[in-house]
Amino acid sequence: MEATPLLITAPTLLENGDYAPARSFQEVKSVFWIETVKMWKIAAPIAFQIICQYGTNSFTNIFVGHIGNVELSAVTLSLTVIGTFSFGFMLGMGSALETLCGQAFGAGQLHLLGVYMQRSWIILLASCFILLPFYIFATPILKFLGQEEDIAELAGKFTILTIPQLFSLAINFPTGKFLQAQSKVNVLAWIGFLALLLHIGLLWLFIDVFGWGTTGAAIAFDITNWEITLAQVAYVIFWCDEVWHGFSWLAFKEIWAFVRLSIASAVMLCLEIWYMMSMILLVGHLDNAIIAVGSLSIW
């Protein structure tokens, strides 16, 4: 008797778009596979973008490591302590947009996405000025926290040169959340990848060719982050016509409620991100801090 192959039936969809209750293990597997593929289509580009984002820091440390141990430790201290502090705060402040844009997109109120993004731009730009003293006075702050004088001095100079990168985050994070809410994540991955390639080229040019040292690394860091930001904004303006309707004064409306939500998000996220900053600060108290901090940057 000829065996009949088992057919994998597609799950039944209800009128509301949800799946009908699974009545067999085969249907469970089918639903699981369909939803897994959907999830990875969104999650994989986001994960790749984050890898590229952290890659800019990693390659900065790699190229600076060829200059000297003090330079490597100083740049690591700057990026990990001051940079992570501001990155965590800014990312947290921008995370409120993730909730609001998701709700607006799901409710079909597409015009609100652009308004929310602009409102977040305003709040994060104001946050940059709040964080600015940490950049300007990075050297005395690091010395107060017990870091070696040579490392703190050079880290402070590098930190001041990366102030433009701080302001790029104010535009970058809201724009990224704006695109993620619409599942336009492939463009974020491509922008991040191309920016990483650009960053490597700039580091090679400024450090190895021009011999600008840590100054060249800071300039490359600033250019790369602003390239990502401007590319995202350009995509929003020219390729998101259905949700972007230009700049609006509505961005200034109900801004304090938005600030409260942003602060709540920032507090929650900062506690998750700042642990690495505390590790670097503790390592800076070891006997041979230059080697210890530099070694931790490789990890």
Please check whether residue 115 lies inside any domain of the structure. Answer: yes
Closest CA to 284 of 81, 57, 15: 81
pLDDT 10s digit of each residue in the chain, 299 long?
A: 445 444 456 666 665 566 777 777 787 788 788 889 989 999 999 999 999 999 999 999 999 999 998 999 999 989 988 998 899 889 888 888 888 888 888 888 888 999 999 999 999 999 999 999 999 999 999 999 888 899 999 999 999 999 999 999 999 999 999 999 998 999 999 999 999 999 999 999 999 999 999 999 999 999 999 999 999 999 999 999 888 988 989 888 888 888 888 887 787 777 777 776 777 777 777 777 777 676 666 65
CB 92 within 8 A of CB 265: yes
Please check whether residue 113 lies inside any domain of the structure. Answer: yes
> Count of alpha carbons within 13 Å of 251, Cβ hemisphere only?
20
Ramachandran sector of residue 209 (left: φ over 0; alpha: ψ -120 to 50; beta: rest): alpha
Closest CA to 269 of 61, 77, 98: 98
| Separation CA 271–CA 279 (nearest Å) | 13
Long-range Cβ contact pairs of 201-209 (< 8 A, separation 24 or more): 203/59, 203/60, 203/63, 204/63, 207/63, 207/64, 207/66, 207/67, 208/63, 208/66
Domain containing residue 128: 51-272
Please check whether residue 35 lies inside any domain of the structure. Answer: no
What domain count does the chain have? 1
| Separation CA 83–CA 42 (nearest Å) | 28
Exposed e or buried b for every residue in 165-188, given b needs 16+ CB within 10 A?
A: bbbbbbbbbbbbbbbbbbebbbbb
Please check whether residue 225 lies inside any domain of the structure. Answer: yes
| Separation CA 269–CA 34 (nearest Å) | 31
Token pair, residue 176, equals 């990224």
| DSSP labels, 221-283 | HHHHHHHHHHHHHHHHHHH-TTT-----GGGGTTHHHHHHHHHHHHHHHHHHHTHHHHHHHHH
Please check whether residue 13 lies inside any domain of the structure. Answer: no
- Cβ neighbour number for residue 267 with a 10 Å cutoff: 12
- Tell me the percentage of the chain whose pLDDT exceeds 70: 90
Please check whether residue 278 lies inside any domain of the structure. Answer: no
Closest CA to 216 of 26, 60, 39: 60
**What is the distance between the terminal CA atoms of the chain, rounded to a whole angstrom?**
62
The reported pLDDT for the residue numbered 216 is: 97
